[in-house]
C-alpha cells in the first residue's frame, strides 16, 4: 500500500481539465514557479530562506574533507542502486 494517496489523474479527469481550461471555466492557470493564490507565507521570510538554502550546501561542501565527501557520495550511490533492484 502506498504511503500517500496517488495524485495521478485518469483520462476523464485530464479531459475535463483541458475542456475547463479551453472554455475559461477552470481554475486560473499560473505560470510555473509562481506561488499559489492562497499563499499566506511572509514574502520576506521566503526570500531569506532561499538565500540561506543556497549558501548552506556550498558551505557544508567546503567544510567537508575529500574523504568524507567521497564516503557520502558512495553511500548515496549505493542507496540509489539498491532502490532500482
For position 5, what pLDDT does the model report? Answer: 65
Average pLDDT, consecutive stretches of 10 residues, N- to C-terminus, the chain (85 residues): 69 87 80 76 86 81 92 93 71
Supply the pLDDT for residue 67: 95
Residue-by-residue DSSP string for 28-81: PPPPTTPPPTT--S-HHHHHHHHHHHHHHHHHHHHHS-HHHHHHHHHHHHHHHH
Instruction: Tell me the pTM.
Output: 0.37
Amino acid at each position: 500500500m502506498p504511503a500517500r494517496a496517488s495524485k495521478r489523474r485518469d483520462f476523464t479527469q485530464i479531459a475535463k481539465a483541458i475542456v475547463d481550461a479551453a472554455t475559461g471555466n477552470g481554475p486560473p492557470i499560473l505560470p510555473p514557479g509562481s506561488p499559489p493564490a492562497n499563499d499566506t507565507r511572509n514574502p520576506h521570510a521566503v526570500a531569506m530562506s532561499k538565500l540561506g538554502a543556497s549558501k548552506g550546501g556550498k558551505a557544508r561542501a567546503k567544510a567537508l574533507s575529500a574523504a568524507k565527501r567521497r564516503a557520502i557520495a558512495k553511500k548515496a550511490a549505493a542507496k540509489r542502486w539498491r532502490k532500482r533492484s
